[in-house]
């Protein structure tokens, strides 16, 4: 499913996609938010929305997962122009890793400098409960192909980018402060990437725990690496939709993930809305 013939072809496709989106919206948003499984309803709270189907954007892959709508919505939230992506591209869908992160580079070309990434994740830390919201402090991407593999795209960033501050420390503090102000409890932790689409085995979860992971999921990490490569600030929020494999005496299924995401939808929307409203750009 690799449909880019060369780095310059890829760059041209990114530019065409950014030009197309710009032609459809009046605003020049600087904040974008990628909405994970079941977290899409946040996009409905944007005012004066302009909706663009992914399938209309040149070069954009189509999303294939239930709970991921495949729409980009530009609108106002708390007086700020925001781009929300309802649906993302997962490696397990069969895309080449450069396609999985295509949208991040398009966002950068559009002038986005702050990215909020959200996802549904399995809780590995046994002090977590389904329904918890977790600020991502760091990630483990050993089990993912790098989205920066291949010729470096110098227009975006350096060959060997630093990943020490993948998740912006000031934004983490700011999000904690906002959450406290509105009485929403937050966990913090390390997110480990798993390729999926199968859930992990109990042994894999024990191994990830030993490695230092607090939560596991099938997205986000390639996007964050790409966003950091091109200099965007990142805030990551996981919704712990289930305890990871082997922790509880029950099987994992996508319906549970969607149900828990629905249950915390209100808190999640409130938290993100307050964060964006009070965000100094
Ligand atoms: N594992 C991987 N991805 C997930 C999980 C999980 O337990 N829950 C939601 N996304």
What was the pLDDT predicted at 2?
47
| Nearest Cα residue to 119 out of 82, 164, 88, 77 | 88
pLDDT 10s digit of each residue in the chain, 281 long? 445 668 888 899 999 999 999 999 988 999 999 998 777 788 888 999 999 999 999 998 876 666 557 899 999 998 899 999 998 999 999 999 999 999 999 999 999 999 999 999 999 999 999 999 999 999 999 988 999 999 999 999 999 999 999 999 999 999 999 999 999 999 999 999 999 999 999 999 999 999 999 999 999 999 999 999 999 999 999 999 999 999 998 888 888 888 888 899 899 999 999 999 998 76
> Quick one: CA torsion of 196, 202, 203, 209, rounded to 10 degrees?
90
Q: Is 121 in the pocket of ligand 1 (CB under 6 A)?
A: yes
- Confirm if 14 and 57 have CB atoms less than 8 A apart: no
- Confirm if 161 and 126 have CB atoms less than 8 A apart: no
- Confirm if 92 and 218 have CB atoms less than 8 A apart: yes
> How many CB atoms neighbour CB 71 within 10 A?
20
What was the pLDDT predicted at 4?
66
| Nearest Cα residue to 272 out of 238, 225, 223 | 238
Catalytic residues: 37, 68, 90, 92-93, 120, 218-219, 242, 254
What's the pTM value of the predicted model, to 2 decimals? 0.95
> How many CB atoms neighbour CB 188 within 10 A?
15
Q: Which atom of ligand 1 approaches the CA of 217 most closely?
A: 3
The distance of Cα 269 from the centroid of its chain, to the nearest Å, equals: 15
Distance 216 CA to ligand 1 centre (A): 6
Distance 99 CA to ligand 1 centre (A): 22
What was the pLDDT predicted at 1?
41
> How many CB atoms neighbour CB 92 within 10 A?
15
Distance 37 CA to ligand 1 centre (A): 10
Q: Please give the angle made by the CA atoms of 154, 159 and 160, to the nearest 5 degrees.
A: 145
When computed from its CA atoms, the radius of gyration of the chain, rounded to whole angstroms, is: 18
Ligand 1 mutation pick, 66, 123, 207, 218, max ligand atoms within 8 A of CB: 218
What was the pLDDT predicted at 6?
83
Q: Is 208 in the pocket of ligand 1 (CB under 6 A)?
A: no
| Nearest Cα residue to 190 out of 214, 161, 219 | 214
Which residue's CA is minimally distant from atom 3 of ligand 1? 217
> Quick one: CA torsion of 202, 206, 212, 218, rounded to 10 degrees?
-10
What was the pLDDT predicted at 258?
87
* Two tokens, residue 146: 């790098």
Q: Is 200 in the pocket of ligand 1 (CB under 6 A)?
A: yes
């Amino acid at each position: 499913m690799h449909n880019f013939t060369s780095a310059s072809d890829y760059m041209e496709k990114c530019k065409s996609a950014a030009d197309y989106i710009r032609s459809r919206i009046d605003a020049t948003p600087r904040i974008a938010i990628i909405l994970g499984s079941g977290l899409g309803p946040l996009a409905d709270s944007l005012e004066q929305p302009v909706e663009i189907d992914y399938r209309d954007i040149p070069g954009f892959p189509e999303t294939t997962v239930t709970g991921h709508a495949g729409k980009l919505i530009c609108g106002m939230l708390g007086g700020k122009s925001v781009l929300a992506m309802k649906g993302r591209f997962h490696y397990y869908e069969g895309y080449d890793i450069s396609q999985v992160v295509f949208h991040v580079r398009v966002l950068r070309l559009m002038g986005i400098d702050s990215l909020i990434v959200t996802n549904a994740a399995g809780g590995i830390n046994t002090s977590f409960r389904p329904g918890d919201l977790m600020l991502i402090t760091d990630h483990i991407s050993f089990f993912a192909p790098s989205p920066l593999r291949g010729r470096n795209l110098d227009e975006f960033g350096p060959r060997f980018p630093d990943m020490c501050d993948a998740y912006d420390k000031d934004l983490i503090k700011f999000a904690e402060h906002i959450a406290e102000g509105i009485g929403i409890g937050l966990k913090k932790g390390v997110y480990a990437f798993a390729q999926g689409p199968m859930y992990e085995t109990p042994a894999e979860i024990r191994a990830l725990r030993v490695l230092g992971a607090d939560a596991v999921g099938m997205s986000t990490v390639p996007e964050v690496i790409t966003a950091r490569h091109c200099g965007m600030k990142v805030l990551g929020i996981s919704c712990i939709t289930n305890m990871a494999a082997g922790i509880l005496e029950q099987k994992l299924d996508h319906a549970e993930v969607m149900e828990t995401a629905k249950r915390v939808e209100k808190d999640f929307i409130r938290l993100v809305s307050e964060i964006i409203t009070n965000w100094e750009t």
